[in-house]
Structure 1
Amino acid sequence: MVESTHEANLQSQTLTFKAETKQLLDILIHSLYTEREVFLRELISNAADALTRMQFILLTEREVVDPEVELKITLIPEPEKRILRIIDTGIGMTAEEMIENLGTIAHSGARAFIQAVKETQANPNDIIGQFGVGFYSAFMVADQIEVISRSYQPNASAARWYSRGQETFQVEPAEKTNRGTEVILYLKEDANEFTQSVRLREIIKKHSEYIPYPIYLGDDQQPVNRQSALWRQPAKEIKPEDYESFYKQLTLDFQPPLFHLHLVIDAPVQVYALLYIPASPERGLLSARQEEGLKLYARKVLIQEYNRDLLPSFFRFVDGVVDSEDLPLNVSRESVQATRLLAQLKRILTTRLIEALKNWAKEKPADYITFWQRFGRYIREGIATDEEFGELLTPLLRFPTLYKPDQWLSLDDYILTMPARQNKIYYLISDSVGSALNSPHLEIYRRHHYDVLLLTDPMDPFMMLHLKKYQNLEIANAATEELSPPDTTSEAQETEKKPLSTEDEARLISRIKSILGDRVADVRTTQRLDESPARLVGRQGDPPQELQRLYRLLNADQSIPQLVLEINPFHPLIHYLNTLPETDPLFRLSVEQIYEGMLLLEGLHPNPNDMVKRQYEILLHALKAKHQQE
């Protein structure tokens, strides 16, 4: 390197850094960056800042060096010399500015920072704050750094800054007639990869794709980066195919997304976001995004590849990018300080996305149902687990119902169809829609003409522990709700005999208890049933049905809870049972079959195959009786 002293007003100087530089550089280089490639992101970002400042000056001043020159960044690799040059045509620096900007690591607080690391043994990422020392990350890959710069000011002289990353640096005159800054890295032996064009393109594409100035590589005439960030463009200027193309580039998912949301928000924080809901919750083998999280940019510079703090976990299936001018970054740009601003961003993005989904459901209900069938479990999870946003998610729920089992109704749809006398929203938890429709619990609701939500997802019991009201209406479990029969007599009861006498009822209950023993908590009659001979219900004081189901799901509990068997005194099967003598084996078989049939309908039977053998026995008795009559 040739020293130049042609400038009379600037002498070569060897200066000492204004902080415990060696120690601080060791921390910066070895502790703060998990990937060495980020040095290039930092230098390109610094160059872009210099270009932005120059662009602003050009709006008001014409007495500048090279007023017509293109605002650009150029990377020149020299593999044979193990050198990488990063050149910009930005604002440039004088010698004094070099001393101030490059000779002072952390204008204040350096000693306090080092002391805190020593005393607390904390991760520097957690305590360093904003020091603006990304330039020094280049010492991860370089033994020496040289900076040659010419200020935009016509009367300023060019200067050269040089350091080996130790206690001192040099500043001296330089030969440079054009405006801007050239950073020259003399790379370490193990860092020659950063002179390879393929590798440099890869890093630029990953971290600096949307820097708003062209980045040229070597003698290439075409910029490496796109420059224009789709999420920062006005939505009215973007075509649907552009959104889809960007999604496929982002994810390598060749299926078009189900939905996208483009946000441009100025207050209370400035944020640009482009969020996508994929076609499937399962990521393909070739997906470019194998982890959950959004790409986080600050001023178009990629900060985090997978940020999981910008949306709640129940929206983890969402892909996209978020970009903000207001993010405070820590020294390495590899993580964002845990500030209220990040929490504010999360609230804004989440509430806007929920509102957008609600509008989508109204405008394109068929498309929304496709989303619900594929991603509804995540919405249920949000209601069950997220105290902050769970209530906002409730309008997004969709259910089949007793009277519309092949449709998907929202809670608002359900309320619109409620009879005037109905004052609660009813639901039934079951293993499938078919099982639910055959549940004896629903017979009383048919008589009242009350619709019932049918909940069949494994997440539903957990969700219903938290979903207690909607629009000031209580949400009640149809299986446990004490609903009295309507005033009118049911059709089944009109065509049936009178119920059992008090004596017969007591005797039959006693006989059934003797068969089932402690498998049931009690046996009693009920007026709620029409077509079914019996049903199983919980005892008063038992944990809610939702909690019991959840416990069985989480603990794989195969034990059968002790429930109350309620029998229908109007049902012909109960009447025939009452007529069977004590010694008839058909009585025992029938009681067992009724009980286990109810277990099956409740999803509680541990081994339904056991019922098959008993069915054969019952058929055999019936056929024998028929034969004897003939």
Structure 2
Amino acid sequence: MTSTVEAEETPPETNSFQVDLRGLVDLLSHHLYSSPRVYVRELLQNAVDAVTARRAFDPDARIRIRLSAEGGRVSIEDSGIGLTSDEVHTLLATIGRSSKRGGEHGLESARREFLGQFGIGLLACFVVAREIRVVTRSARTPEAAPVEWLAHDDGSYTVRALPDEARPEPGTTVWLEPRPGAAEWLEPRRVEELARDFGSLLPYDIVFADGFGAERPVTDRPAVWDREHSSPTARRVALAGHCAQLFGFTPLDTIDLDLPVAGVRGVAYVLPEPTSPAHRAGHRAYLKGMLLTDRADNLLPEWAFFVRAVVDTDTLRPTASRENLYDDETLAAVRDALGGAVRGWLTELAAGDPRRLAAFLDVHHLGVKSLARHDPELFGLMLPWLPFETSDGQVGLEEFAAAHGRIHFTRTVEEFRQIAPIAAAHGLGVVNAGYTYDADLLALLPTVRPGVTVTELDAGAVTDRLDPVPTEAELALTSFLATARTRLDPHDCDVAIRAFQPVSVPALYLDDRQARHERDRSTARENADSLWTDILGSLRGSAPRARLVLNHNNPLIRRIAALPDPELTGTAIESLYGQALLMAQRPLRPADTTLLNRAFLGLLEWATHSGAANTARKEDEK
């Protein structure tokens, strides 16, 4: 009998993660934060959070925050909540912990008032500092001695108690010693500039001292959009100055952004020059008065590319680096509401200030068109002012629709430019829908103006509007037209003759979308292998063909029609076809290129032979 002895199971050993502080600082500086400049934000943020906690604990406490830069060092002093010796060990020396997290420190009630959300805090200062010294005294246990925490970028730190005179009052002072290569970030001018940029709207008075005895305010409250002004004009001037200072331009107009429910307040500045719809605007977002980012591209809807916004919020979430807004459902709702504020401003202009609206649309009609695609009500409101390129010139759609009950449009700018002079001369209403958003708005037009018909321009519609040639004249041209149709039939092009203006245009190439698709299919078939040639050949349908319309009013056409040589007539027709293709800016297929070359050389051949014959005849006459 065999016995089996089971080995006793060894209990698992519990260990803690070991953190390489230098590696973590490298991670922060190269991957989390966009620039070392954020260390000033972290210093200000910790100080503001500390005094916020102090005010929650002692509402009558005197609040003070002083930032200074002198002798190559940066320091910040606050009269905040302070820390005890145990708290220093627990909070400052443990990565990921924060004095704002637990209820054991009596701070949970003020949680929503804090700026910091991720507990990184002073660790970010190692991006520019080789040594951080903190002297702190707790306001909750004032009888405890002040504590010094001295940390180095190699991960080591010391904690010691100091005599009472080292810090008589509660609060905290932090000193930073620069690391090699980072001294520029601790220069007084740079520190003051960063402090103003990040902290101008913070809720407590903050001063900066540069070591020469003078103290200058960092904060500038209330925000310019919340200040009292002597008149609306004075307010506009103040906002324009604020915009010029922040963004470097004088705004065309300003739009108040006020969402009390969402805790968002600010202003949008309308750009004075047009910008591309593809350009992502960099908006400026503050979180509880601290600058979060000046490149928030997800704050407003994409269609609002014609404004730059500045907002302060206490509800939106920051990303882990606290350098942008976290794109969640709350931000989506705020974005829609801010878009509604911009839309409301447009509506007010349309209803009460057409002059300002016209000035705005002269610059930013693309932005309004983008918005109007998804808002029929706004589209109807803007209809009298939105400009469109038409065969009657640059006019609004409402005026154009009143003149032409049936509106035609072209999908390309080139097609419109070819047909516009002829359409204008013959009363055909054509809109150029080759520009951004115009085709979408034309499709929406019948829903906001019932009774208006919008159709894409086709060859038949244009041909029907042109004047027919008298029957006798057309019968006399039978042989000429037969030759022309025979020559162009291999190119899937019909031939018609009409009388139209301007006289200077000898021929007009017309097609529609189906004809272009058929043309593309033929091109693909010519370049395909045998299998695809058969497949594409089977797809040929009964699509309308392109049409070359010859102008009977043009003297050249009459002379070509009177040529006695059918071969020369055919060569001339091919030349007219090629020239009309080029005028319409249609892509040339290999067969078209061959035709153009053949026609050009044929005409040269005829011209030189004709010239030689004339010369010989004149010599004989001599």
Q: Do they superpose with TM above 0.5?
A: yes
- Aligned residue in 1 for 2:533: none
Aligned 8 A contact 2:97 2:119 in 1:
no
Q: SS where residue 22 of structure 1 aligns?
A: coil
The whole-number CA distance in structure 1 between the counterparts of 2:84 and 2:398 is: 67
- Aligned residue in 1 for 2:264: 271
- Aligned residue in 2 for 1:46: 46
The whole-number CA distance in structure 1 between the counterparts of 2:21 and 2:141 is: 36
What's the TM-score, normalizing by structure 1?
0.66
- Aligned residue in 1 for 2:134: 147
- Aligned residue in 1 for 2:237: 241
Change (3 A) 1:509 1:23: same
The whole-number CA distance in structure 2 between the counterparts of 1:588 and 1:514 is: 9
The whole-number CA distance in structure 2 between the counterparts of 1:307 and 1:364 is: 31
Change (3 A) 1:577 1:469: farther
Deviation at 1:239, TM superposition (A): 1.0
1:178 and 2:169 equivalent?
A: yes
Deviation at 1:41, TM superposition (A): 0.8
* Aligned 1:42-191 pairs, distance under 5 A: 42-55=42-55, 61-62=59-60, 67=61, 69=62, 71-79=63-71, 82-95=72-85, 97-99=87-89, 101-107=91-97, 130-153=117-140, 157=144, 159-164=146-151, 166=155, 170=159, 172=161, 175=164, 176-191=167-182
The whole-number CA distance in structure 2 between the counterparts of 1:91 and 1:600 is: 79
The whole-number CA distance in structure 2 between the counterparts of 1:221 and 1:29 is: 34
Deviation at 1:328, TM superposition (A): 1.8
Aligned 8 A contact 1:132 1:331 in 2:
no
- Aligned residue in 1 for 2:479: 507
Deviation at 1:538, TM superposition (A): 1.8
* Aligned 1:255-404 pairs, distance under 5 A: 256-267=250-261, 269-281=262-274, 292-311=281-300, 315-316=304-305, 318-360=307-349, 363-376=352-365, 382=370, 397-403=386-392
State the AA in 2 paired with 1:582.
Answer: P
The whole-number CA distance in structure 1 between the counterparts of 2:378 and 2:24 is: 45
Change (3 A) 1:434 1:567: closer
Q: Which has the higher helix share?
A: 2
Count matched residues. Answer: 523
State the AA in 2 paired with 1:22.
Answer: V
1:488-520: per-residue Cα shift (whole Å, max 9, x none)?
xx9x66xx744656x656534312234556455
- Aligned residue in 2 for 1:10: none
State the AA in 1 paired with 2:80.
Answer: G
Supply the RMSD in Å over aligned alpha carbons.
5.0
Aligned 8 A contact 2:207 2:216 in 1:
yes
State the AA in 1 paired with 2:218.
Answer: V
Deviation at 1:320, TM superposition (A): 3.5
Among 533, 542, 546, which residue is 1:564 paired with? 546
Among 511, 515, 522, which residue is 1:538 paired with? 511
Change (3 A) 1:101 1:388: farther
Change (3 A) 1:313 1:352: same
* Aligned 1:391-540 pairs, distance under 5 A: 397-403=386-392, 405=393, 407-409=394-396, 411-412=397-398, 414-415=400-401, 417=402, 422=405, 426=409, 429-431=412-414, 437-440=420-423, 445-446=427-428, 451-455=429-433, 457=435, 459=436, 464=439, 468-472=443-447, 475-479=454-458, 482=461, 497-498=470-471, 507-514=479-486, 516=488, 518-519=490-491, 521-524=493-496, 535-538=508-511
State the AA in 1 paired with 2:390.
Answer: T
The range that moved more, 230-239 or 28-37, is: 230-239
Deviation at 1:297, TM superposition (A): 2.2
The whole-number CA distance in structure 2 between the counterparts of 1:159 and 1:298 is: 32
The whole-number CA distance in structure 2 between the counterparts of 1:530 and 1:188 is: 78
Q: 5+ residue gaps in structure 1?
A: 1-17, 109-128, 284-289, 549-561, 625-630
The whole-number CA distance in structure 2 between the counterparts of 1:89 and 1:585 is: 101
State the AA in 2 paired with 1:319.
Answer: R
Among 217, 228, 232, which residue is 1:223 paired with? 217
The range that moved more, 465-474 or 342-351, is: 465-474
Deviation at 1:325, TM superposition (A): 1.4
The whole-number CA distance in structure 2 between the counterparts of 1:362 and 1:588 is: 61
What's the TM-score, normalizing by structure 2?
0.67
The range that moved more, 431-440 or 170-179, is: 431-440
The whole-number CA distance in structure 1 between the counterparts of 2:273 and 2:550 is: 47
The whole-number CA distance in structure 1 between the counterparts of 2:326 and 2:244 is: 31
Q: 5+ residue gaps in structure 2?
A: 1-14, 99-115, 522-543, 615-622
Aligned 8 A contact 1:94 1:150 in 2:
yes
State the AA in 2 paired with 1:213.
Answer: Y
Answer with 1 or 2: which has the greater Rg.
Answer: 2
The whole-number CA distance in structure 2 between the counterparts of 1:246 and 1:200 is: 21
Change (3 A) 1:363 1:247: same
Aligned 8 A contact 1:87 1:180 in 2:
yes
Q: SS where residue 310 of structure 1 aligns?
A: coil
Aligned 8 A contact 1:498 1:570 in 2:
no
1:22 and 2:19 equivalent?
A: yes
- Aligned residue in 2 for 1:124: none
Among 175, 198, 205, which residue is 1:214 paired with? 205
Aligned 8 A contact 2:301 2:336 in 1:
no
Change (3 A) 1:539 1:582: farther
- Aligned residue in 1 for 2:10: none
Change (3 A) 1:300 1:21: farther
State the AA in 2 paired with 1:301.
Answer: M
Deviation at 1:265, TM superposition (A): 1.0
Aligned 8 A contact 2:488 2:494 in 1:
no
- Aligned residue in 1 for 2:102: none
Percent of residue pairs identical: 20
Change (3 A) 1:52 1:93: same
Deviation at 1:539, TM superposition (A): 5.8
Q: SS where residue 388 of structure 2 aligns?
A: coil
Aligned 8 A contact 2:425 2:502 in 1:
yes
Deviation at 1:162, TM superposition (A): 0.7
- Aligned residue in 2 for 1:121: none
The whole-number CA distance in structure 2 between the counterparts of 1:456 and 1:234 is: 48
Change (3 A) 1:582 1:597: same
Deviation at 1:44, TM superposition (A): 0.4
State the AA in 2 paired with 1:210.
Answer: L
Q: SS where residue 201 of structure 1 aligns?
A: helix
The whole-number CA distance in structure 2 between the counterparts of 1:195 and 1:604 is: 63
The whole-number CA distance in structure 1 between the counterparts of 2:554 and 2:346 is: 51
State the AA in 2 paired with 1:160.
Answer: V
Change (3 A) 1:100 1:336: farther
State the AA in 2 paired with 1:438.
Answer: P
Aligned 8 A contact 1:214 1:223 in 2:
yes
